Amino acid sequence: AALDFLLAPNPATETLRIAFGEALRSDTRIRVFDTAGRLMQTDNLASGKVVTQLNIMHLPEGMYTVVVDNAQGSGVRKLMVR
């Protein structure tokens, strides 16, 4: 199943807000990959969360792929960092 979530702001500079369509029903992993497929950041969220913020100040400018997955499913979004 697809996990529904929104990234804001996008493009982002320092912090990224991730808002889920509903409260997470299981522990959830957030991974950020660069265009070469390298894992740049991993964050873990406890079930029950609806919104979280990631510190992305360390990410160089460019395009990234944000992958979110848990027992219920997964979702992928593109992120621009500038």
Give the helix, strand, coil percentages of the chain, each rounded to 5.
0, 60, 40
pLDDT, residue 79, reads: 98
Q: Are 35 and 54 in contact (CB under 8 A)?
A: no
pLDDT of 1 strictly over 90 = no
Both tokens assigned to 1 = 């199943």
* Share above pLDDT 90 across residues of the chain, in percent, rounded to a whole number: 99
For the sheet containing 15-20, what is the strand order?
5-8, 15-20, 51-55
Q: Can you tell me the mean pLDDT for 16-35? A: 97
What global pTM score does this model have? 0.95
